[in-house]
């Protein structure tokens, strides 16, 4: 009986590689002061997509050129779950130990944006209270993992449909 390529091993490899790439990218954005730039932050999705595509291509090649849609979807979801775990852990370490002022900067920018929109002080204060409740480490970690997993699943739905190559039935 022939041995199939391991989905978990491939997912772990590319989940870790992609999370390292996102960690480096995020650190560069934070150090350069561009972390508030939404367009640059969206490039992390491009990094995620590249990681998922590379994982699926390697899996397909090590599986004699074949990969079902379900295998691709599962692989992409595993990659994004692993990526979400490590990227969220890094974010927590970064916020807690490396640059504890980043949350204050983010909240200050949000306050300035709301003032520029013309919201009154009572509305801004309510929003700031709610924001502080959602900025607890546990909530942020869970939201980060879920966010990466959700987006990775959506990307994997599309990528697996493109990259899949079914094995012929009568072979």
Q: How far is it, in rounded angstroms, from Cα 79 to Cα 48? A: 9
pLDDT score of 1 more than 50: no
Q: 82: pLDDT confidence band, cut at 50, 70 and 90? A: very high
pLDDT score of 59 more than 80: yes
Q: Please answer whether residues 57 and 163 qualify as being in contact, where contact means their C-beta atoms are separated by less than 8 angstroms.
A: yes
Query: What pLDDT digit, counting tens, does each position of 113-145 carry?
Result: 888 888 888 888 888 888 887 888 888 899 999
Closest CA to 135 of 110, 107, 113: 107
């Amino acid at each position: 009986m022939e041995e199939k390529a391991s989905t978990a091993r491939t997912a772990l490899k590319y989940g870790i590689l992609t999370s390292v790439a996102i960690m480096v990218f995020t650190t560069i954005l934070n150090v350069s002061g561009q972390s508030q730039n939404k367009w640059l932050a969206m490039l992390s999705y491009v990094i995620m997509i590249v990681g998922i595509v590379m994982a699926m291509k390697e899996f397909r090649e090590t599986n004699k050129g074949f990969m079902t849609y379900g295998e691709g979807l599962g692989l992409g979801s595993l990659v994004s779950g692993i990526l979400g775990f490590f990227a969220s852990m890094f974010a927590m370490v970064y916020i807690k130990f490396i640059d504890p002022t980043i949350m204050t900067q983010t909240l200050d920018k949000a306050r300035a944006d709301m003032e520029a929109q013309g919201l009154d002080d009572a509305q801004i204060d309510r929003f700031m209270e709610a924001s502080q409740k959602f900025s607890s480490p546990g909530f942020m970690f869970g939201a980060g993992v879920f966010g990466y997993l959700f987006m990775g699943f959506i990307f994997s739905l599309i990528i697996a449909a493109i990259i899949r190559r079914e094995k012929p039935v009568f072979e």
